[in-house]
Amino acid sequence: MHSQILLQVSDFLQVCVALVSRQAARAIILWAVYLLAPAASGKMGGFHRRRFGRPPEFMTKLNADRFQLANAVRALSMDAVERAASGHPGMPMGMADIVEVLFNDYHKHNPANPDWWDRDRFVVSNGHGSMLLYSVLHLSGYDLPMKELENFRQLHSATPGHPEFADTPGVETTTGPLGQGLANAVGMALAEKLLAARFNTDEHTVIDHRTWVFAGDGCLMEGISHEACSLAGTFGLGKLVVFYDDNQISIDGDTDGWFTDNTPARFRAYGWRVIEDVDGHSPEAISAAIDQAIAADDRPVLICCKTTIGFGAPNKAGTADVHGAALGEKEIAAARKQLGWPHEPFVIPDHIRAGWDARERGAETERRWQKVWKAYSSANPALARELEERMNGGLPADFDSLADDVLAHMQADDSTVATRKASEMSLEAFGPHLPALIGGSADLSGSNNTRWSGSVDARENPREGNYIYYGVREFGMTAIVNGLHLHGGFIAYSGTFLVFSDYARNAVRMSALIPAGTIHVYTHDSIGLGEDGPTHQPVEHLTSLRLIPGLSVWRPADKVETAAAWAAAIARRDKPTALVLTRQGLPHQPRSSAQLDLIRRGGYVLAEPADGPIDVLIMASGSEVGLAVEAAASLAEEGVGARVVSMPNPDLFLAQDERYRNEVLPTDVTARVAVEAGVSLYWHQFVGNCGQIIGIDRFGASAPAADLFREFGFSTKAVIEAARKTLAETA
Ligand SMILES: Cc1ncc(C[n+]2csc(CCOP(=O)(O)OP(=O)(O)O)c2C)c(N)n1
Ligand SMILES: [Mg+2]
């Protein structure tokens, strides 16, 4: 009986071996044909693949299951784009095999809890490939039902054209402006490194995750990729792994015409590890590359994946046609045939679904972590509490009363200081209470006053570090700050001159769009910086920052308003703030405790006529508030009653209720003057038809600040004249 069974088993095994070896022999022959045929016709293998977009047959046979898992991403992406009649099928079809291997074999996440702190971060920096992200989130079990994919790019769907943070569970950041996702990811990887250094103990590891990035030719062409990746090398962010979608295609066609860098050499020069020439359609090659990438090493990793854009579309793959347009019915039908994907649009067979489903695995992974967290918490209660508070974005319970104390303290000191210095004083006051605070500057620490006595270099000392020397990289810095915020655990601020906010501008816009509770410190805020001249003197920047929806822009008039601005910025954990500060000293303004309280409303009455009615309203921000106060005093001597309204944050003032606004700016007082050392445009809404604006609608000049203010009409005399003029016009 036993021997009979053994015989049958041995027969069975022999048949298996024969089958497998036949299969293997067939694969080897096909492989040779695949490689040699294009060579014989003078074409490289990659070129061949790129042009024909056809999977080598051996691959589809040996990796049939994996290939079909990846095809689910391809099909969902091409069908969603087709239905929306808009979108980008090329990247998802090209990177499907990579994302399949990454998500199914490596990515640490729990679809049921996208906020789990110790999850790996996955950033699609080439955000036009959003359908790849939505497909894998849906397939792996996030709360993103198929109907959302069917509604790709439609109003109020969870699947916007480019990924938007907070719109879709599992989306780690808003991407689309090429290169910025990559820089955000550098911020996330930096956050992980610093938190791991601070909180992990010899016994317990509670922070240990990777940041995976997909990036295309566009991301790597963008200058910000240089800024961010260069810094990532310097910081030794070994858990950052970037998959470069090396498909040699961007919108205008073959990148041979505009992108011929030696990318591997470039990244090696940054201090990265580079894994070159990975076949981005071979699961084995991708796995081998990832295995290499995750070996312990301090260097970030770039995996250069040779891919075919639009892989699987028989006529369009490998061409720019497939980058950003629906494939069309005929090509989609042909692609279904090519890929061996007979299923209807938005239908995923059960076995494919099962292959992607990460819910059980994810829950188990998080459960294991929870156990470690519990043990860690009982062994290190103080550290655990700090980490928990930081990751939850909380502030110290007594923060409001701390802010009140700081303001009262500042009010009691009547010295003249520059608001950049007042900003440093504010950091000294708040910093010791905020372990999450992490600052930095783009090589202007001493000028921006962003460094305070508690600042510790984060590169030299990751464990205690809370200060980053970003080097001269304003755009990279700002996007990295967004990434630090998005990761969680930090209240992140940046620093540079206001005039260079332009260099960073799209990342500031992204701070507001994400939205991220970041703080951007901009000093040297007007012609008041003096001799450096018009290249360094911002004119339009203040107003142009105010145009960004959701960005809170403060331009404080003295140290008290500066402290109030910092307090508001710190408390604003979910939206960004810009602090616009002077180089030059500003006089201290007296205030009652009621007035102290009103600063937080963005605009308030700072000085009133001693007696008699209000004849004229004088509004000002920052360095011009002092002028307004002096002018009002002179006007009083002429018998003109002037009210001075300090407007450190006019948008915030506009957001107050109507009653308050009308109290501060009574509608019946139409004689109005606004003074601000920037373009005048913004103030028309406040001064009305008969008002006067003292602004600067041209570039400044190189000279001492006092001469410039005089030259451009920022003097008590000019304010008095403007008041007389508006009074005459409204008489
Ligand atoms: C900063 C920025 N500039 C321009 C664009 C418009 N744009 C979107 S995708 C793209 C080409 C990107 O090429 P690549 O990264 O190679 O993407 P692929 O075509 O390979 O998917 C361009 C220019 C953008 N999204 N962001
Ligand atoms: Mg490309």
| Cα-to-centroid distance, 135 and ligand 2 (Å) | 20
- Cα–Cα distance measured from residue 502 to residue 524, given in angstroms and rounded to the nearest whole number: 14
Looking at residue 501, its pLDDT comes to 98
Asked if 632 contacts 644 with a C-beta cutoff of 8 angstroms, the reply is yes
Other residues' Cβ atoms within 10 Å of the Cβ of residue 445: 18
Among the atoms of ligand 1, which is closest to the Cα of residue 129? 21
Strand intervals (E) in 515-650: 519-523, 552-554, 577-580, 585-586, 604-607, 616-620, 642-646
Closest CA relative to residue 407, chosen from 215, 188, 589: 589
Q: Which residues pair with 254 in a beta bridge?
A: 249
Question: Residue 672, Cα to own-chain centre: how many angstroms?
Answer: 40
**Sequence-distant (≥ 6) Cβ neighbours of residue 115 within 8 angstroms:** none
pLDDT bin (cut points 50, 70, 90) of residue 436 is very high
- Whether 291 shows a pLDDT value over 80: the answer reads yes
* Mean pLDDT calculated for residue range 424-442: 98
Contact 299, 311 (CB under 8 A): no
State the sign of the Cα–Cα–Cα–Cα dihedral 698, 703, 708, 711: negative
CB 124, CB 132: distance < 8 Å: yes
| Residue 383 three-state SS | helix
Q: Would the pLDDT of 6 be above 50?
A: no
Confidence of residue 63 (pLDDT cuts 50, 70, 90): low
Which pLDDT value is given to residue 38?
A: 34
Give the mean pLDDT of 320-330: 98
Q: What are the pLDDT digits (tens) for 529-583?
A: 999 999 999 999 999 999 999 999 999 999 999 999 999 999 999 999 999 999 9
Task: Give the model's confidence band at 153: pLDDT under 50 very low, under 70 low, under 90 confident, else very high.
Answer: very high
524 class by beta-carbon count within 10 Å (0-12 exposed, 13-18 middle, 19+ buried): buried
User: Any idea which ligand is nearest the CA of 248?
Assistant: 2
Rounded to the nearest 10 degrees, the angle between the axes of helix 180-199 and helix 223-235 is 20
Model pTM? 0.92
Residue 309 alpha carbon, nearest atom of ligand 1: 20
How far is the CA of 52 from the CAs of 280, 314, 376, in angstroms? 15, 6, 54
**Distance between CA atoms of residues 396 and 576, nearest Å:** 19
Spatial contact of 264 and 217, defined as CB atoms under 8 Å apart: no
Report the alpha-carbon distance of residue 151 to residue 83 in Å, rounded.
Answer: 8
d(CA 550, CA 459) in angstroms, rounded, equals: 32
Distance 219 CA to ligand 2 centre (A): 9
Give counts: helices (H), strands (E), the chain.
Answer: 30, 20
- Bridge partners (DSSP) of residue 160 are none
Average pLDDT value for residue range 487-499: 98
pLDDT value of position 64: 67
- Please give the helix or strand (H or E) that residue 34 lies within, else none: helix 2-40
**Is there a contact between 695 and 676 (Cβ–Cβ < 8 Å)?**
yes
From 523, 597, 517, select the one nearest 551 (Cα to Cα). Answer: 517
Ligand 1 pocket check: which of 77, 88, 128, 164 to mutate, most ligand atoms within 8 Å of Cβ? Answer: 128
Pocket test for ligand 1, best of 250, 322, 509 (most atoms within 8 A of CB): 250
Confidence of residue 12 (pLDDT cuts 50, 70, 90): very low
Task: Tell me: pLDDT of 721 over 70.
Answer: yes
Mean pLDDT of the chain: 93
Ligand 1 binding pocket (C-beta < 6 A) is 90-91, 126, 128, 176-178, 216-219, 222, 245, 247, 249-251, 309, 323
Q: At residue 33, does pLDDT exceed 80? A: no
Residues 6+ apart with CB under 8 A from 550: 512, 513, 515, 575, 576
- The DSSP line for 534-569 is TTT--SSHHHHHHTSTT-EEE--SSHHHHHHHHHHH
Cα–Cα nearest to 301, from 257, 344, 271: 271
Radius of gyration of the chain (CA): 30
From CA 520, how far away is CA 511, in angstroms rounded?
10
pLDDT, tens digit, for every residue of 418-431? 999 999 999 999 99
pLDDT(115) > 90? yes
Predicted confidence band of residue 8 (pLDDT cuts 50, 70, 90): very low
For residues 630-645, give the mean pLDDT.
98
**DSSP sequence for 662-725:** HHHS-TT---EEEE-SS-SGGGHHHH-TT-EEE---S---SS-HHHHHHHTT-SHHHHHHHHHH
Catalytic residue among 82, 474, 561, 676: 474
Nearest CA among 176, 177, 173, 170 for reference residue 140: 170
Q: Quick check: 442 and 470 in contact, CB under 8 A?
A: yes
Mean pLDDT across 191-211: 98
Distance CA 130, CA 136 (A): 10
Non-local (6+) Cβ contacts of 75 within 8 A are 336, 339, 341, 343, 345
Query: How remote is the C-alpha of 368 from its chain's centroid?
Result: 30
- Whether 366 is a known active-site residue: answer no
**Ligand with an atom nearest the CA of residue 220:** 1
Instruction: List the residue whose alpha carbon is closest to atom 21 of ligand 1.
Output: 91
Q: Which ligand is nearest the CA of 128, by number? A: 1
**Who wins on pLDDT, 18 or 344?**
344
Q: Please, which pLDDT band fits residue 4 given cuts at 50, 70 and 90?
A: very low
Dihedral pair phi/psi, residue 115, rounded to 5°: -100, 0
Q: Is the pLDDT of residue 44 over 50?
A: no
Which residue, among 119, 109, 163, has the nearest Cα to 141 in the 3D structure? 109
| C-alpha separations of 229 from 151, 181, 240, 463, 634 in Å | 35, 12, 10, 22, 56
The answer to which of 47-51, 93-97, 212-216, 653-657 has the lowest mean pLDDT is 47-51
Q: How far apart are CA 291 and CA 23, in angstroms?
A: 27
Model pLDDT, residue 25: 42
* Ligand 1 atom closest to the CA of 162, numbered from 1: 25
Does the pLDDT at position 415 exceed 50? yes
Q: Which residues surround ligand 2, an ion (CB under 5 A)?
A: 216-217, 247, 249-250
Contacts of 317 (CB under 8 A, 6+ apart): 50, 51, 52, 53, 54, 93, 308, 309, 310, 311
Report whether pLDDT(3) > 90. Answer: no
CB 241 within 8 A of CB 303: yes
Three-state DSSP state, 474: helix
